[in-house]
Structures are given as C-alpha cells and as structure tokens.
C-alpha cells in the first residue's frame, strides 16, 4: 500500500517503465520468431543442388551455431520477461489496481489430452505424457529446435555427400537435435523445482517454522481446490496461497524483510523469493 502521493507517483512511473520494457521484449520475441523460421526455410528451399549451401558444411554449421545462440539469447530474455511480469504485478498490488492485467495474469490452464485424475480416481502416470499444455515456452523452443534440426540435416548431408557413408546419418542428426531439446527442457524443469525448494527452505530457516492454522472454512476451500485435478494446484500450494491471501496486506513485513536479505545473498529478485515463500503467484 502506498504511504504517500509521492511514493504512489514513483511506483506509477516505474510501472509505466516496466510495461514499456515488457512490450520491447515481446516485440523482440515476435521478430525472432518471424525472421528465423522464414530465413531458415528460404535458405534451404530456394537454393540449387550445386550451391555452396549444399556442398559446403561450414555454412550450415555456422547457421546451426547462430540458431543456438539466438535460442540462448531468447531463453535469457524469458528470465527478464518473467521478472517484468512479476514486478508489474507487485506494483499493481501496491497501487491497489483491482484486477490488474499482470497481478491477475492467468496461468496456462488449457491442456489437450489426458489430465491425470480427471476421468478416473486411479492415477495413470503413463498417460500423462500424452497431454499437451497450451502455453508459450514449448512451442517457441520447438521452433528453435526445428530450425536447428534443418541446419543439422544440411550439415550432415554436405559431410556425407560423395562418400559411401550411411544415408541415415542425414536423418539421425536432426533427431539428435530434437532429443537434446527435450533433454534440456527436462533439465530446466528439474532445475526450477530444485531452486524453488531451496529458496523455500532458506526462507523457512530465516523466518522459523511459522504455525499456519487454518479455520474450518479455509480448510474446506483448500480441500475443494486440491480435489479438482483439472485446476493443477497441489494441496500444499493451495494451503500457502489461501493462508497468504486470507490475511490480506497487513503491516507485518517479516517475509519481505527476509526475502530482501535472501535476495542480496543469492542474487535473485526479492519479489520472486517472496512469491516462492508465500505461494502468492
């Protein structure tokens, strides 16, 4: 909550700057997603069989490396993108903007395929891999993987051209690229979960094992949320979020002080640390 009109003006000015940076990153992303696939397809489709693109492996190798660098750059932009969204959400709460665009930003809620527990009380872990979640990250990553796979194919074709090597190597190279992309996605998810668990553990160490007693109506709400698998909210997360939002914004800022201290130590945003601890978003 803003303590004065001057503080409100400062927060509003920062909010405008954060939104402007968010739009800039979004614009950069759309340009990358437009020019990279078009350039890759144009280079591969509109060349003659005798051109250097087909005969010289150095050219597709260079393009493959550039694609990886652009994908890495975009992945770093994802981190800035997430922080800008979260900071804008925090400023909306401080400015008391009801139903703000960022503070009430919907999570990816649509999933095509099998949702574990949706049609049966018995868990079916094998089928959960057949579901596809509608979100931003994996389609963007797949575009980069597809572009890199095409350049890997052209590189391998140039290397094996005129040699009695197995022709299947040309098709194995893009397959390896896609497998590596899937492995990187798995590593990213595992790293994210581990990082969140460590931050919550450190916050617990700073603040102590605070007793969180929910009343009957809160417990009923938690159970109702956890009982609906389609919502995708675990019971532990539901408990933290209900506990946090039930109290509202009070004067006690212990979690903010602890998150600021931890942020200075581990070099991660204090807002993100507080979100991880409280379950706010």
**Cβ within 8 Å of residue 127, ≥6 positions away:** 114, 116
Q: For residue 55, what are its two tokens?
A: 């005969």
Task: Specify if 186 maps to a domain.
Answer: yes
Task: Tell me if 218 sits within 8 A of 107, measured CB to CB.
Answer: no
Task: Tell me if 15 sits within 8 A of 110, measured CB to CB.
Answer: no
Q: Which residue has the higher pLDDT, 259 or 53?
A: 259
pLDDT band at residue 52, thresholds of 50, 70 and 90? low
Residue 186: how many other CB atoms lie within 10 Å: 10
Instruction: DSSP letter for 101, please.
Output: T
Q: How many helices (H) and strands (E) does the chain have?
A: 9, 2
pLDDT band at residue 120, thresholds of 50, 70 and 90? very low
pLDDT tens figures, 3-48: 678 888 999 999 999 999 999 999 998 888 888 888 888 877 766 5
Task: Specify if 236 maps to a domain.
Answer: no
pLDDT at 211: 58
pLDDT band at residue 68, thresholds of 50, 70 and 90? very high
State residue 133 phi and psi, 5-degree precision: -90, 135
pLDDT tens figures, 137-192: 889 999 999 999 988 988 888 887 766 667 777 778 888 999 999 999 899 888 88
Q: Which residue has the higher pLDDT, 115 or 224?
A: 224
Task: Tell me if 281 sits within 8 A of 89, measured CB to CB.
Answer: yes
Task: Specify if 216 maps to a domain.
Answer: no
CA separation (Å) from 24 to 80, 89, 110?
Answer: 11, 17, 27
Highest mean pLDDT among 77-81, 128-132, 195-199, 260-264: 77-81
**Cβ within 8 Å of residue 18, ≥6 positions away:** 84, 87, 88, 91
3-state secondary structure (DSSP) of residue 111? strand
Instruction: DSSP letter for 132, please.
Output: E
Q: How far apart are CA 178 and CA 166, in angstroms?
A: 20
Q: For residue 207, what are its two tokens?
A: 């603040």
Domain count, the chain: 1
pLDDT at 226: 75
- H or E stretch covering 133: strand 132-133
3-state secondary structure (DSSP) of residue 112? strand
Task: Specify if 223 maps to a domain.
Answer: no
Task: Specify if 229 maps to a domain.
Answer: no
Q: How far apart are CA 64 and CA 147, in angstroms?
A: 8
Q: Give the mean pLDDT of 90-101.
A: 85
Task: Tell me if 255 sits within 8 A of 203, measured CB to CB.
Answer: yes
Q: Which residue has the higher pLDDT, 146 or 230?
A: 146
Range of the domain at 268: 5-209+249-278
Task: Specify if 241 maps to a domain.
Answer: no
Q: Give the mean pLDDT of 121-148.
A: 75
pLDDT at 180: 92
CA separation (Å) from 129 to 43, 125, 193, 230, 281?
Answer: 35, 8, 18, 15, 25
Q: Which residue has the higher pLDDT, 131 or 9?
A: 9
pLDDT at 171: 79
110 pLDDT higher than 90: no
State the Cα torsion 212-218-223-225 to the nearest 10°: -110
pLDDT at 66: 92
pLDDT at 242: 62
Task: Specify if 231 maps to a domain.
Answer: no
Task: Specify if 237 maps to a domain.
Answer: no
Name residue 132's beta-bridge partners.
Answer: 112
């Amino acid at each position: 909550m803003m303590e004065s009109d001057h503080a409100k003006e400062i927060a509003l000015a920062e909010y405008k700057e954060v939104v402007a940076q968010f739009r800039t990153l979004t614009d950069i992303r759309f340009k990358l997603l437009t020019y990279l696939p078009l350039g890759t397809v144009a280079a591969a489709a509109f060349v003659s069989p005798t051109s250097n693109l087909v005969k010289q492996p150095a050219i597709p190798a260079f393009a493959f490396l550039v694609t990886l660098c652009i994908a890495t750059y975009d992945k770093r932009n994802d981190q800035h993108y997430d922080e800008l969204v979260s900071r804008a959400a925090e400023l909306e709460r401080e400015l008391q903007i009801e139903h703000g665009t960022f503070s009430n930003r919907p999570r990816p809620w649509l999933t095509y395929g099998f949702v574990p527990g949706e049609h049966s009380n018995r868990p079916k872990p094998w089928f959960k891999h057949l579901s596809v979640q509608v979100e931003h990250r994996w389609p963007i990553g797949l575009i980069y993987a597809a572009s890199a796979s095409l350049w890997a194919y052209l590189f391998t074709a140039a290397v094996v051209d005129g040699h009695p090597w197995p022709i299947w190597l040309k098709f194995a190279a893009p397959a390896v690229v896609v497998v590596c992309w899937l492995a990187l996605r798995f590593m990213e998810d595992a790293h994210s979960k581990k990082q969140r668990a460590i931050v919550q553990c450190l916050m617990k160490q700073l603040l102590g094992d605070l007793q969180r007693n929910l009343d009957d109506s809160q417990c009923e709400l938690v159970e109702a949320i956890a009982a609906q698998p389609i919502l995708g909210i675990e019971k532990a997360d539901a408990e933290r979020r209900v506990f946090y939002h039930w109290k509202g914004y009070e004067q006690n800022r212990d979690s903010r002080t602890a998150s600021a201290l931890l942020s200075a130590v581990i070099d991660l945003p204090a807002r993100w640390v507080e979100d991880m601890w409280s379950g706010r978003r």
